[in-house]
A and B are shown apart, each in its own frame.
Chain A
Amino acid sequence: DAEITQSPRHKITETGRQVTLACHQTWNHNNMFWYRQDLGHGLRLIHYSYGVQDTNKGEVSDGYSVSRSNTEDLPLTLESAASSQTSVYFCASSDRNPGLRAGELFFGEGSRLTVL
C-alpha cells in the first residue's frame, strides 16, 4: 500500500544544532507540506512544494528550510534549533493540481522534536 512515512518519530536535540526531519511518500503525489502542531495553535504551515525543485514558504517558515530533489521526499531542516521549535511536526501530501479546488491531504504519523 502507498503511504507517507516520517523519521525520526522522536528526537531530542540541543539548541544550535542542525536537525533534519525526513518525509517520504510512495503515492507519487506532486504536492507535499510540512506543518507543526502546538497546543493552542492547531496546525500551522511551515513550507510546501508543488513539485520537484519547487518550494514555498508558509505561515511560520523562519528557521526552517526544505528542498525537493525528487517526487517522493521533502526533508525539513532546522538550521540552528531553538527551544521555540519544540513541537510535533507533520508531513502531508496530495495529488490535487495547484489552482484547483482544495482536496484531501494525507498525513504522516508525526515527528516529535524536543530542543533543550
Chain B
Amino acid sequence: GDSVTQMEGPVTLSEEAFLTINCTYTATGYPSLFWYVQYPGEGLQLLLKATKADDKGSNKGFEATYRKETTSFHLEKGSVQVSDSAVYFCALGADTDKLIFGTGTRLQVFP
C-alpha cells in the first residue's frame, strides 16, 4: 500500500543553518504531497503542499519540490530560526482526504 518514509530525528541545528528533511513515498497513483508542522502542545497545521510532479510548494521560507522520478518531497529552508523548532510530518493523499503520514522529524534550533 501507499506509504511515507522520512528521516529520523532529532535534527539539531544552529540558527541560520540550512535545513533539509528527507521524505520519500510509495504510491500506486499520483498523490498530492504535504508537509505539516506541529509546534509544541499544538495540533498539526499545513505548512505546504504540491499536487503534481515538478510542483514546488513554499511557505514561511520552507520549500519542497514534488519529484516523481525519485519519489521524493524533501523539505528545505535556507536559514532556520529558533521559532522553527517543531516536529515536521510528510504526508501523502490520493483521491480523498485520508492522508498517510510519515513518522515525523523533530527539529531543534539553537541560538
Contacts and interface: CB of A to CB of B under 8 A. Distances in A.
Contacts of B31: 102
Contact of A102 (B41, B89, B99, B103): B99
Size category of the binding interface on chain B: 20 to 34
Interface residues of A, number: 28
Interface string B65-95: 0000000000000000000000001001111
Interface in B88-111: 89, 92-104
A97 to B, nearest CB: 9
Interface string A88-109: 0010101010111111111111
A44 B101 CA distance: 7
A43 B102 CA distance: 7
Interface of A: 31, 33, 35, 40-45, 48, 58, 90, 92, 94, 96, 98-110
5 contacts: A33-B98, A41-B103, A48-B98, A102-B92, A103-B97
